[in-house]
Amino acid sequence: MTEKFDIIIVGAGIMGVASAYYLQKNNPDKTILLVDSQPDAGQANTAMSAAAVRNMFASTTNQLLTDTTIDFFRHIQENLRFNLALHFCGYLWLLSDYQFKDPSVQNWMQRMETNDISYRVIERPELQKSLPGLVAEFPDDEEASLMNLNPVDYALFGSECGVLDPSLLVQFYKEEFLKLSKIKPRFNLTVNKLLLEATPSLGLPGEPLAWQDKQVTGIQSSEGTFHADRVVLAVGPWTNALLDPVGIPSYVKAKKRQLFIVAASDHPQLEELLFTPKFSDAGFIPFTILPSGGVYFRGVPEEKSFWVGCGDKVGRAYKYNMESDDYNAERAYYEQSMYPVLIKYFPAFANIRPTNMWAGAYAYSVDAIPLVYEHSGVIVVTGASGSGIMKADAIARIADALYRDEKDAQLFGGRTIPSRSLGLTHRKVEIESVII
């Protein structure tokens, strides 16, 4: 006999655990089984994340998803007294004059103003005082000109942005879910297939037949078959692997992303940069995006280190699903592509090799806005496009609203969003242009 649940959630990354929490909280009588192929929650792309949070997006939708999610994270830490290692160190976008005046940046700023997203423009002289060792222009530097390096003339600084520890965030949602749930999650369980069955079944050979109604009714897994009235699929860049075989559309693709850890201890200039006190009460450097090459970094004050990444766009392959080699960070990529850019702007990084590195993948949607929709008995939660931590709370609330067939999802702080607006049929979003 197979086990039967009201809901099975496949994937216990941040999307899966946050969804599990809201589904259980708002549907207390329902039995919810949370499963993941990893030994515990949040060990795949969620763990690989830079875990920076920002509400500085260009689309109204992403602004709403992130602004309310960040407010909830602040609430967790300040009112519920659960430490997320959340620091409001800010986000700092370094831009050349040319970039700053580009219509897309002007529109981005305009939309932030319209929607009360707080940010300010900082000019080069102030930046040079606040960022020790910043090189803002490269006169007579042939190498810099060969590398297409933009000068730094301006920065956009967002003070309601910051960084956190993704494992603590996962722990918060998982613990809250476990307090409410009667069903123990199952880890080390790989879902091989979604079960698609005729509803009702007539016991005919070859079911489900084309003319029959069909629903996903459960999962086939390494631990056997489990049935459920509803399956929530929160498997990030593996979405296609489970939806394709049953013919449910998804419109996401994966792209590898990696982080390189550079220790600041024993390097006084780098330490000075890390602990620059000028931007916020957090007392360390904002999440900083360089104006060239897609290179960015965040400070990790607890470890006295920087995590350096790159939003490499053209040239980095899209994958249909995340593949095993997407887990391998490439030291040569750091040395050849990122390091030369980094040390031009911040020479304090010169001659320091990364002490650690890791890689994961983004799940990109077509418009860089998450996808949350119901199709044939599955609620699909995917397409966070590299910013799933910072949108997780809002997305999980939308998944729960869809389950309860609510017209609007209630987000933290009282704002709402139509629960079908991130779906396939009634999708109502702008294209996001500010992705890293």
Binding residues for ligand FAD, rule: CB under 6 A, are 10-16, 35-38, 43-46, 48-52, 190-191, 234-236, 238, 242, 257-259, 309, 360-362, 384, 386-390
Cβ closest to ligand FAD, residue 48 vs residue 198 = 48
Bond prior to 208 in cis (omega within 30° of 0)? yes
CB of 241 to ligand FAD, least distance (A): 6
Listed in sequence order, the residues at least 6 apart from 313 whose beta carbon sits closer than 8 Å to its beta carbon are 294
Structure-block tokens of residue 335: 């040395």
Cβ closest to ligand FAD, residue 96 vs residue 240 = 240
Cβ closest to ligand FAD, residue 55 vs residue 421 = 55
Cβ closest to ligand FAD, residue 49 vs residue 96 = 49
CB of 93 to ligand FAD, least distance (A): 14
The string of DSSP letters for 358-379 reads EEEEEEEETTSS-EEEEETTEE
Mode of pairing for the β-strands spanning 318-319 and 252-263: antiparallel
Structure-block tokens of residue 170: 């996962």
Long-range contacts of 128-132 (CB under 8 A, 24+ apart): 129/278, 130/276, 130/278, 130/279, 131/273, 131/276, 131/278, 131/285, 131/288, 131/346, 132/269, 132/272, 132/273, 132/276, 132/348
Please report the sign of the dihedral spanned by the C-alpha atoms of residue 179, residue 238, residue 408, residue 5.
negative
Which helix (H) or strand (E) element contains residue 295? Answer: strand 295-300
CB of 116 to ligand FAD, least distance (A): 21
Cβ closest to ligand FAD, residue 220 vs residue 269 = 220
CB of 351 to ligand FAD, least distance (A): 24
Please report the sign of the dihedral spanned by the C-alpha atoms of residue 276, residue 278, residue 282, residue 287.
negative
Please report the sign of the dihedral spanned by the C-alpha atoms of residue 335, residue 341, residue 342, residue 348.
positive
What does the alpha-carbon distance between residue 218 and residue 425 come to, in Å, rounded to a whole number?
A: 24
What does the alpha-carbon distance between residue 220 and residue 240 come to, in Å, rounded to a whole number?
A: 16
Cβ closest to ligand FAD, residue 242 vs residue 368 = 242
CB of 11 to ligand FAD, least distance (A): 3
CB of 120 to ligand FAD, least distance (A): 21
Alpha-helix residue ranges (DSSP H) falling in 4-135: 14-26, 45-48, 60-78, 97-101, 103-114, 124-130
Cβ closest to ligand FAD, residue 43 vs residue 212 = 43
Q: What is the DSSP letter of 329?
A: -
The string of DSSP letters for 297-314 reads EEEEGGGTEEEEEE---T
CB of 156 to ligand FAD, least distance (A): 17
Cβ closest to ligand FAD, residue 293 vs residue 386 = 386
Cβ closest to ligand FAD, residue 151 vs residue 383 = 383
CB of 56 to ligand FAD, least distance (A): 12
Partners of 197 in beta bridges: 215
Q: Which residue has 């419109």 as its token pair?
A: 251
